[in-house]
């Protein structure tokens, strides 16, 4: 970091010596001022960061003994987000997990919950707006145990 230049030498001070060189005080002031100006220009020329970027978020959700019903994962969402994919698996048994925004299913296929991890991409009907609820409906439960779900979302952050 460059320090501020010293004050300009007094008006009665000699600025230029008889041999044509600047006086030591005036030379130091010119050097410090030059450094301060260059540092200011370097700062001004610094590129501005991208004002928007995508922030990934995840919402893991676990139910030890799921039953056929709705489970609310996000209630009264506060920031618009896009649901990119949903993930599911369980320790034993099977069931179907249908992810919905309020009462509208996400575009794509519902998750088949079993001992094999399933990642399901969602490219349509997948924007969770402000005030919306993210709900998962469990159906066709066949003794499913220790169900693990995860919702992967992105949201746009704007730097101001």
Q: Please state whether 61 falls in left (phi above 0), alpha (psi between -120 and 50) or beta.
A: beta
Dmax (CA) of the chain: 101
CB 143 within 8 A of CB 71: no
What pLDDT, in 10s, does the model give residues 70-112? 999 999 999 999 999 999 999 999 999 999 999 999 999 999 9
**Mean pLDDT across 8-37:** 83
Q: Where are the domains of the chain?
A: 1-46, 52-158
Place of tokens 């230029």: 16
Q: What are phi and psi of 103, to 5 degrees?
A: -120, 10
**pTM above threshold 0.85:** no
Counts for the chain of helices (H) and strands (E), in that order: 1, 8
Name the CATH code of domain 52-158 (choices 2.60.120.220, 3.30.565.10, 2.40.50.100, 3.30.720.210): 2.60.120.220
């Amino acid at each position: 970091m460059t320090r501020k230049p010293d004050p300009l030498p007094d008006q009665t001070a000699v600025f230029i010596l008889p041999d044509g060189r600047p006086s030591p005080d005036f030379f130091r002031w010119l050097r410090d001022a030059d450094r301060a100006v260059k540092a200011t220009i370097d700062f001004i020329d610094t590129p501005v960061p991208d004002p928007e970027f995508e922030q990934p978020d995840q919402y893991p959700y676990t139910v030890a003994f799921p039953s056929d019903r709705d489970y609310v994962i996000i209630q009264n969402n506060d920031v618009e987000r896009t649901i990119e994919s949903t993930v599911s698996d369980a320790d034993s048994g099977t069931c179907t997990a249908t992810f919905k925004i309020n009462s509208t299913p996400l575009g794509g296929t519902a998750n088949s919950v079993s001992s094999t991890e399933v990642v399901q991409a969602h490219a349509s009907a997948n924007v969770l707006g402000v005030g919306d609820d993210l709900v998962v409906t469990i159906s066709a439960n066949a003794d499913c145990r220790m169900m693990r779900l995860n919702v992967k979302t992105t949201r746009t952050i704007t730097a101001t």
